Structure 1
Amino acid sequence: MRLADAVRIYLATITVPNTRATYAAALDRLVADFGADTNVALLDREPDRVAGWFTFVWGGKAPKTFNIRLTALAAACGYWREQEWLAGDPLVRLRARPAPPDTSKALSRDRVTEILGSDTLLRERVLWHMLYESSARAEEVLMLDVPELDTANRCAVVTRKGGAREVIAWQTGTARLLPRMLVGRKSGPLFLTDRRARPSVAKNDVDPVTGRARLSYRRAAELFEIHTSQYDGGPYTLHQLRHSRLTHAAEDGASTPVLMKLSGHTSVRSLAKYARVSDDALRRYQADSDPAARRRSGR
């Protein structure tokens, strides 16, 4: 299989435009530098060359960029192995670079609205809406099964850190999208992978109707980072959706007990990093509470 054709066929399987464009940046460079007519199977025989090429092209970039390009190539190689165009792993010499995410910063309301309203797969839209609106941890939401949902009351019971079982609740955005994703499904994990599960996957992580597996945290985080890499300050992390919701709730005047219930924290001290008011919120508060402004407006 020609490398150019292998890349074209793989990219055609990606339905999300932003993801396809991000992956194409790495794969098109691979074709340009290795040659369109190169047999994709030959990449197996030159892992040192592939590693050297990749490091030369992206080694000087930020760890996040380096890792996103590596993820794109790894995903393509995985697909090519499934098609039996590739036998081994040409990326065996490469490792992702440590890039601690900046989870200390909440996103602006406008940025959250932009992300939640973007054109992407329905599964991702439901997940991102639910994470923001409920402020639950991604690990908690991804472990939900369909029978655990109370769609009428817009809530579900999740297992928190430490094993406590608590209710999370969502809002209209999630409520509108959820039925479209479930399409009548009554069993299995709430969020599923795109493909059928391997035989080694645990039974309770597989939907008995479709045969697809539970979506992993790693894959969910990867998709979110790829999608948000286009934004200033991106890519973002799934944790920032939770952080942003708690910060916005604090700015809106939510009480400490409400914030603790939203976050699942049992210690007030743990809320400190989420209750930091943004610069915009501070300016809003000062303007709204300015005595002179109230007198001018006749209040």
Structure 2
Amino acid sequence: MGTDRHLTAVPDDGGAAAGEATSGVPTAEALASFLRHLAGRRGRSGRITSPETVRSYTSALPTAFAGIVHLGELAGGGRERLHTNIRTAWGSKAPATFNAKRAAVGSALAYFGAQGWLDDPAAVLAGLTREHQPKPDDTRVRDRARIDRLIADKRRPLDDRTLWSMLYATAARAEEVLRLNIEDLDRANRRARTIRKGGKADELLYDVRTARMLGQLLGRRTTGPIFLSARVAADDGTVLARDVDPASRRRRMTYRTAERHLDTATGGWDPHDLRHSRLTHAGEDGATEADLMNLSGHEDRRTLQRYLKPSKEGTHRRLDDLDNQRRNWTPTADELDARMTGRGND
């Protein structure tokens, strides 16, 4: 990667309102420099920033810094403009979304400070506090029997049921499954090659039920996306060839479509519920942390802790097993011998 050219401050042209500086590095050039830095940066895992993260920052930062021509403006009215931009764009979104966009802006500001282009990066976001994020909802662990009924419900399209089966079996993120092509499948070993969050290549592991449903879904198809929407792509080059089934011209299913279909079928579930449920159920059944990491693609054990907490369903099932064992208690040979010889009455 090439080095950035040195960015110089723009001198005050005397046209600013009283008390507001206009000098500073041009914001667009500073953002471009930060994004180049981000794209080549290695995280704690040693891997370069994923393309998904770079795209997310590339989308968010111009919105946040809109109307701020030079970084010097952030010492005055530009700071309030930045806050307003962030609140307007993401204030009505989920707390996690708002906090993620705010963090992206904070990372850019910290970079500007490290370059000497901004005197006090922390002060720029002062007053724009993080939104409270509620703790994960344990009700997202769905009942095993209901998941099985959902997947087996032949009133639902085979495309949807196969997707739900694979999402549950692999405990993968929906994006990791929806991007799969038929060529990515190792059907003999029930595995599928995908790209995890963060850009890591990995294999998804799926079960026999999913393998059978994939066989029914794919038929004689040998190339193209596995999961297709009902929409047919126009032959005008607006959709990438890799996202179109060459025979039917149907487009790859999008996350929004998958989310809507699951919500309609269940009255409120989303694709992550299947991932959450699978990991929790596997933990209840005795899977080790290493097993869960292999299954889910997590690289930090700390992120698995909420999946190792048993669900109400799991606790109830184990308590029923204990009750059944107690009701079915039988005496040992020594106890029977004591009864037969009368020693049990001493």
Structure 2 length normalisation: TM-score? 0.53
| Pair 222,100 (structure 1): closer, same or farther in 2 beyond 3 Å | farther
- Asked if 1:108 is matched to 2:146, the reply is no
> What residue in structure 1 maps to residue 280 of structure 2?
247
The separation in 2 between residues aligned to 1:159 and 1:287, in whole angstroms, is 41
| Pair 253,298 (structure 1): closer, same or farther in 2 beyond 3 Å | farther
> What residue in structure 2 maps to residue 280 of structure 1?
313
What is the one-letter code of the residue matched to 2:145? D
- Asked if 1:157 is matched to 2:170, the reply is no
**CA deviation string 1:239-281 (max 9, x = no partner):** 1011111110001011110011111100111011212202232
The separation in 1 between residues aligned to 2:264 and 2:94, in whole angstroms, is 14
> What residue in structure 2 maps to residue 210 of structure 1?
248
Worse-superposed segment, 278-287 or 161-170: 278-287
1:20-31 matches, within 5 Å, as none
| Pair 176,98 (structure 1): closer, same or farther in 2 beyond 3 Å | same
The separation in 2 between residues aligned to 1:279 and 1:264, in whole angstroms, is 25
Worse-superposed segment, 127-136 or 281-290: 281-290
The separation in 1 between residues aligned to 2:299 and 2:266, in whole angstroms, is 31
The separation in 1 between residues aligned to 2:230 and 2:301, in whole angstroms, is 40
> What residue in structure 2 maps to residue 173 of structure 1?
209
The separation in 1 between residues aligned to 2:137 and 2:223, in whole angstroms, is 33
SS of 1:265's equivalent in the other structure is: coil
SS of 2:198's equivalent in the other structure is: helix
SS of 1:227's equivalent in the other structure is: helix
> What residue in structure 1 maps to residue 106 of structure 2?
none
> What residue in structure 2 maps to residue 296 of structure 1?
329
> What residue in structure 1 maps to residue 258 of structure 2?
220
The separation in 1 between residues aligned to 2:189 and 2:173, in whole angstroms, is 20
> What residue in structure 1 maps to residue 269 of structure 2?
236
**Percentage of identical aligned residues:** 41
The separation in 1 between residues aligned to 2:223 and 2:203, in whole angstroms, is 20
What is the one-letter code of the residue matched to 1:161? K
Greater gyration radius: 2
Shift of 1:175: 1.2
1:109-128 matches, within 5 Å, as 109-118=144-153, 119-128=155-164
The separation in 2 between residues aligned to 1:182 and 1:225, in whole angstroms, is 24
SS of 1:250's equivalent in the other structure is: helix
Q: Is the 8 A contact 1:107 1:244 kept in 2?
A: yes
Unaligned runs of 5+ in 1: 1-96, 230-234
1:187-206 matches, within 5 Å, as 187-198=223-234, 199=236, 200-206=238-244
The separation in 2 between residues aligned to 1:298 and 1:121, in whole angstroms, is 53
| Pair 160,114 (structure 1): closer, same or farther in 2 beyond 3 Å | same
> What residue in structure 2 maps to residue 94 of structure 1?
none
Q: Is the 8 A contact 1:132 1:244 kept in 2?
A: yes
The separation in 1 between residues aligned to 2:313 and 2:141, in whole angstroms, is 12
Question: How many residue pairs were aligned?
Answer: 198
| Pair 297,278 (structure 1): closer, same or farther in 2 beyond 3 Å | farther
Higher relative contact order (CA 8 A, sep 6+): 1
> What residue in structure 2 maps to residue 141 of structure 1?
177
Shift of 1:142: 0.2
SS of 2:189's equivalent in the other structure is: coil
What is the one-letter code of the residue matched to 1:116? I
Shift of 1:288: 4.5
The separation in 1 between residues aligned to 2:204 and 2:294, in whole angstroms, is 8
Q: Is the 8 A contact 1:103 1:243 kept in 2?
A: no
What is the one-letter code of the residue matched to 2:142? L
**CA deviation string 1:134-156 (max 9, x = no partner):** 11111000000111111111111
RMSD between aligned residues: 2.5
> What residue in structure 2 maps to residue 89 of structure 1?
none
The separation in 1 between residues aligned to 2:172 and 2:239, in whole angstroms, is 25
> What residue in structure 1 maps to residue 298 of structure 2?
265
| Pair 162,152 (structure 1): closer, same or farther in 2 beyond 3 Å | same
The separation in 2 between residues aligned to 1:182 and 1:157, in whole angstroms, is 17
SS of 2:148's equivalent in the other structure is: helix
Structure 1 length normalisation: TM-score? 0.61
SS of 1:152's equivalent in the other structure is: coil
